[in-house]
Chains A and B, each alone.
Chain A
Amino acid sequence: MTSAPDISAAADDPRLVTDLAGLRLRNPVLTASGTGGYGPEYAGVLDYRRLGGFTTKSVTREERPGNEPQRIVEVRAGLLNAIGLANVGLTRFLREKLPFIQTMPTTVLVNVAGHRLEDYVAVAAALDEHACIAAIELNVSCPNVADGLMFGTDPALLQKVVAATRHVLKRAQLVVKLSPNVTDIAVFARAALDGGAQILSLINTYVGLSIDAQTWKPRLANVTGGLSGPAIKPLALYNVHRVYQTVARAAGVPIIGMGGIQTTADAVEFFLAGASAVAVGTALFIDPTIPVKIAAGLADYLTAHNLPHISALTGQLRLP
């Protein structure tokens, strides 16, 4: 049992302090899973005291070595990755990664992935013991492992895994991360809420393919990968808009929006589409301090527009 670090700082701008269904964030800008490691990697560059929240790489019950290289390929305005959920597994996570996380002066979300329902439940229950983990984010949508999309592409299964996980959580908030690789994401948002999701995060990456015209071979060893970065921003905005309008607004469930965010303006667009917080993923590879810069930019934006609080932007898209 570990205690929760005090994340409040005198310098927090009250206009940015965000409460996502009980998950308190100093500001509404987080890191996205899989793009910030487990915390120590960016410790020298990113000031966690100014970060809204940190999401870990997916943790699975067993350690996973991940895919053969090539694991990434750059495409126009984006990145195609097939890391294959490489991670240390629950036991080593608790032993080797948790001690650092306990010292992180920001809200920490641990992303959980699995093969079977029992895996999600077991990992979530074990993580729930540790007060330094404020929320569990269920990754039901990894496109880069053989059966990774199973839960993310069958609404009934999704509802089941969410409900089973929620059932074992005594303390941590439950975030469900949705896949855009479905016909209608609203159906899955609904299923996640029916299962008891307290927060929705979207989107994970889009399945994509890159081909080398010289060798006639796929550029990734895994053949397909997940597309992220600015290339998917309009798609991500649409998904946030869709989920907000059809499900989340009525249910009062907050959305963490992500997909291609690099600037304050990008973040503002996600708030307008319906997000209550945003996460930065791929852009961290270029500049790990982007979330902190965006948070500062949002404060300026609120001042310039004479808005009392960041939540005044959520869902304010002016529709014709």
Chain B
Amino acid sequence: MSNEATAQPVCAVRARVDACTLVCREHVAIECVVDAFPPSAPGQFLQLLCRDSEAAVSALVEWSDECRPTLSDKDLRASAPFLRRPFSIADQWSTPGGDVHVRVLSRAVGPGTRWLARLRAGDTLDITGPLGRGFRIPTDDAPLFLLGGGVGIPPLLYLARRLHELGRRNVLVCFGARTRDLLPLRLVQEPACDATPTRCVELPAGAPYSAIVAGDDGSVGWRGSVVDALRAWHARHGRGDHPAVVFACGPEAMLKAVARTTRALGLSCQLCIERQMGCGLGTCLSCVVRVRDAVQPTGWRWALACQDGPVFDRDDLLDYAAVPGA
């Protein structure tokens, strides 16, 4: 088990919520400000405490004979999410004053994410991060293809910022969702229905990349999945000298389809995967995923999504696409 300390600093901070806004049905964007936060890489994630932190974990209780600590109503009623919840960094930037802004997009699916959706400007949010290993950006000038489905879109938004800052030009974005109002994006113009990339999506830092938008039900852009859109685009444009590198994040079924398709098309691919997480720091050993390892008699070993990932090379992941001849 690869279980070494990450060399990069991890920080536990109480951030001030600057804004918590609805970006589409079920999704909120939470923007936080912290005095200092380590630099992060797109694909890395944060562990958010999705409840009031004082009540549950403050170890410093005021003790005096007149005022003994008592269980508040809140403690008694608490069925609040116990563990932290993992969220991709959707954007991060520093202001000239030195403050760091961190943004996450959260889709309300359970108690923790519903708590997040109720945050308001001025609230505090307890953040640990940045965690894990992000996307590896190739240094050659291969065309890059950012492929995000639904709740997998956030890390790719941050990646778009980073690529823009690096001056990368040959970048194409493809985002999809089941239906129009589950797309956690701001559309600045109507996306094309035929998978023609246009500047239809607002990207962080004004990254000037064209985008294909796909809606499974035809309510927005290309009717179908992002994987179909990738195939359509590749059929038309994808036969350049440099094979494209695909960066993908989204639901498990989508990632498996991306793995199969990119392999069939001869594109290299990195997948940002999700696993149930306990600690996010490599101690609880719960977030395991099978990776290829020729040294093992079985040909594979468990890796930790929180530490070795969440971004993996497609070809390292055993359960996503069978390697030809393996």
Contacts and interface: CB of A to CB of B under 8 A. Distances in A.
Genuine A/B complex: yes
A74 interface: yes
Nearest to B289: A69
Contacts of A285: 83-84, 278-280, 283-284
B112 to A, nearest CB: 9
Contacts, number: 130
B235 to A, nearest CB: 37
Binding site of B, secondary structure by majority: helix, strand, loop or mixed? loop
Interface in A215-241: 229-230
Interface string B78-91: 11011110000000
Contacts of B288: 66, 69, 71, 86
Contacts of B60: 264, 293, 296-297, 300
A73 B78 CA distance: 18
Interface in B96-126: none
B279 A263 contact: no
Nearest to B51: A286
B285 A86 contact: yes
7 contacts: A40-B5, A45-B281, A65-B1, A66-B288, A264-B61, A290-B57, A293-B60
Interface string A69-113: 111111011110101001110000000000000000000000000
B5 A81 contact: no
B221 interface: no
Contacts of B278: 72, 79, 81, 285
Contacts of A78: 82
A27 B147 CA distance: 51
Interface string B286-309: 111100000000000110000000
Nearest to A83: B285
Given A65-B301, A79-B82, A81-B286, 9 more contacts: A34-B284, A69-B286, A69-B288, A69-B289, A71-B285, A262-B56, A285-B283, A286-B57, A286-B84
A230 B128 CA distance: 21
Interface residues of A, number: 51
Contact of B283 (A36, A263, A290, A300): A36
B83 A37 contact: no
B218 interface: no
Nearest to B81: A74
Size band of the interface chain B makes with A: 35 or more
A287 B284 contact: no
B310 interface: no
Contacts of B279: 35, 41, 284-285
A296 B10 contact: no
A231 B233 CA distance: 53
B132 interface: no
Contacts of A42: 281, 283
A168 interface: no
A87 B64 CA distance: 45
Nearest to A263: B59
A88 B1 contact: yes
A87 to B, nearest CB: 8
A294 interface: yes
Interface in A268-292: 283-290
Given A88-B1, A263-B58, A77 B63 contact: no
B4 interface: yes
B84 A44 contact: no
Given A40-B5, A72-B276, A72-B278, A286 B49 contact: yes
Given A41-B3, A41-B283, A42-B281, A286 B61 contact: no
Contacts of A79: 82-83, 278
Contacts of A287: 12, 57
A318 interface: no
B88 to A, nearest CB: 19
Contacts of A86: 1, 285, 288, 302
A297 B82 contact: no
Closest 6 CB pairs of A and B: A40-B5, A293-B59, A37-B283, A72-B286, A285-B279, A304-B63
A30 to B, nearest CB: 15
Contacts of A265: 61, 69
B43 interface: no
B283 A35 contact: yes
Nearest to A92: B1
A78 B81 CA distance: 9
A38 interface: yes
B276 A69 contact: yes
A43 interface: yes
A301 B6 CA distance: 36
B63 A83 contact: no
A74 B9 CA distance: 27
B79 A76 contact: yes
B286 A41 contact: no
A43 B5 contact: yes
Contacts of A81: 278, 284, 286
Contacts of A34: 283-284
